[in-house]
């Protein structure tokens, strides 16, 4: 089983557009949406939910105001500033349990909070594991790990050999959870100062976890000079640039139509280059190449 995760560092560079297109080109794969707090892959893949379950995230302290003697020990012990008087601020509370431990009258307990839902679905390109973290909830890394766990189960069950995961932006906990143990990370960048800056950071994160990575430059023609610099940088770093996708209004049109761009407009310039990227990714994975020039 081979696992590919699409990441970017910077948001909005085209991760989901590329993931959906790869799924369409692969025809049958397991798809995992690891961007659990702003998931949008379902808008292109239209998954039909087969089963779902609750996700329990971090805990939340709660004060029994009848038992509380207002000694203030909990407030002093809480390092997150989450207790003010008799109130727990659910945003600041990290569920560590220190307040419950120091309370001399046992007035504080930790409760589990339902932080989201996990879905197993079927799409036109194969089974999909995805999730929804509820508004303002924490612990997205744990939910990502769960989404990937379910994706591996689906791959085993259906005998599919590729898991294609759409990752979140950034380099923090949900990204780390999306990258650990994958065969290749595909980093989607754009030729902007921000895109380049963020590429360096996500690339060193992939290195840190000893993940093989390769790069796609999206909207490369917005700034050809920067594209050249990014390609040069990748060469120095020994990272393969799989493709350079041009800016193409068909990408947004496809999104509005709820389709991947390779389905919506197979003859577009963006689609042609996405096919080149997918062939390159298959080569790296060693699952047989597609066409060659």
Partner 1 sequence: MNSHEPRMTISIASGKGGTGKTTVAVNMALSLEKDVQLLDCDVEEPNAHLFIRPRIDEARPVYLPTPKIDERLCDHCGKCSEFCEFHAIAVVGNKAMIFSELCHGCGGCVLVCPKKAIVEENRQVGIVKKGVMGNIELVYGELNVGEPMSVPVIREVKMSIDPNRTTIIDAPPGTSCPVIESIHGTDYCLLVSEPTPFGLHDLKLMVEVLKEIKIPFGVVVNRAGIGDRKIYDYCRAENIPILLEIPFDRRIAELYSRGILFTTETPEWKNRFRSLLSNIMERVGAPTASGSRKGFVKET
List contacts with partner 1 (CB under 8 A): 8-13, 16, 36-38, 40, 43, 58-59, 77, 79-81, 89, 91-92, 94-98, 101-102, 110, 133, 135-141, 168-176, 190-195, 197-198, 201-202, 204-205, 208-209, 222-223, 226, 247, 249, 252, 255-256, 258
Strand partners, 152: none
**Smallest distance from partner 1 to CB 84, Å:** 9
Residue with smaller CB distance to partner 1, 160 or 220: 220
Closer residue to partner 1 (CB): 77 or 276: 77
Q: How far is the CB of 48 from partner 1 (least distance, A)?
A: 18
Query: In angstroms, rounded to a whole number, what is the distance separating the alpha carbons of residues 173 and 225?
Result: 33
Give 126 or 191: the residue with its C-beta nearer to partner 1: 191
To partner 1, the closest distance from the beta carbon of 101 in angstroms equals 6
10 Å CB burial of residue 105 (0-12, 13-18, 19+) is: exposed
DSSP 5-33: EEE-SSTTSSHHHHHHHHHHHHSS-EEEE
> What minimum distance in Å lies between the beta carbon of 85 and partner 1?
13
Nearer to partner 1, 66 or 256 (CB): 256
Residues in the chain: 293
Give the sign of the dihedral formed by CA 77, CA 78, CA 83, CA 86: negative
Q: Which is nearer to partner 1, 127 or 169 (CB)?
A: 169
| CB-count exposure of residue 48 (10 Å: 0-12, 13-18, 19+) | exposed
Number of C-alpha atoms within 13 angstroms, CB side, residue 229?
A: 14
Per-residue tokens: 181: 């143990």
Rounded to a whole number of angstroms, the minimum distance from the CB of residue 199 to partner 1 is 10
CB of 54 to partner 1, least distance (A): 17
When the beta carbons of 244 and 282 are compared against partner 1, the nearer one is 244
CB 133 within 8 A of CB 146: no
Q: How far apart are CA 72 and CA 181, in angstroms?
A: 45
């Amino acid at each position: 089983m081979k696992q590919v995760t699409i990441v970017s560092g910077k948001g909005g560079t085209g991760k989901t557009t590329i993931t959906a297109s790869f799924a369409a080109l692969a025809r049958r794969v397991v798809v995992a949406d690891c961007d659990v707090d702003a998931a949008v892959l379902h808008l292109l893949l239209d998954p039909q939910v087969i089963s779902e379950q609750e996700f329990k995230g971090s805990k939340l302290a709660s004060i029994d105001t009848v038992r509380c003697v207002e000694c203030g020990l909990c407030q002093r012990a809480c390092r997150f500033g989450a207790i003010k008087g008799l109130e727990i601020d659910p945003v600041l509370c990290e569920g560590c349990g220190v307040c419950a431990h120091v309370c001399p009258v046992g007035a504080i307990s930790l409760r589990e909070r339902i932080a989201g839902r996990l879905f197993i679905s079927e799409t036109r390109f194969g089974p999909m594991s995805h999730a929804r973290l509820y508004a303002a909830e924490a612990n997205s890394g744990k939910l990502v790990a769960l989404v990937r766990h379910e994706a591996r189960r689906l791959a085993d069950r259906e005998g599919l050999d590729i898991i294609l995961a759409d990752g979140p932006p950034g380099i923090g906990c949900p990204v780390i959870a999306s990258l650990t143990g994958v065969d290749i990370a595909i980093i989607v960048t754009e030729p902007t100062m921000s895109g380049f800056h963020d590429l360096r950071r996500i690339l060193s994160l992939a290195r840190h976890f000893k993940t093989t990575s390769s790069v796609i430059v999206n909207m490369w023609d917005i700034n050809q000079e920067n594209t050249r610099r990014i390609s040069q940088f990748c060469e120095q770093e020994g990272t393969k640039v799989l493709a350079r996708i041009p800016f193409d209004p068909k990408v947004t049109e496809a999104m509005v139509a709820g389709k991947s761009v390779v389905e919506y407009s197979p003859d577009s310039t963006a689609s042609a280059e996405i096919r080149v990227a997918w062939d390159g990714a298959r080569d790296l994975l060693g699952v047989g190449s597609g066409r060659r020039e």
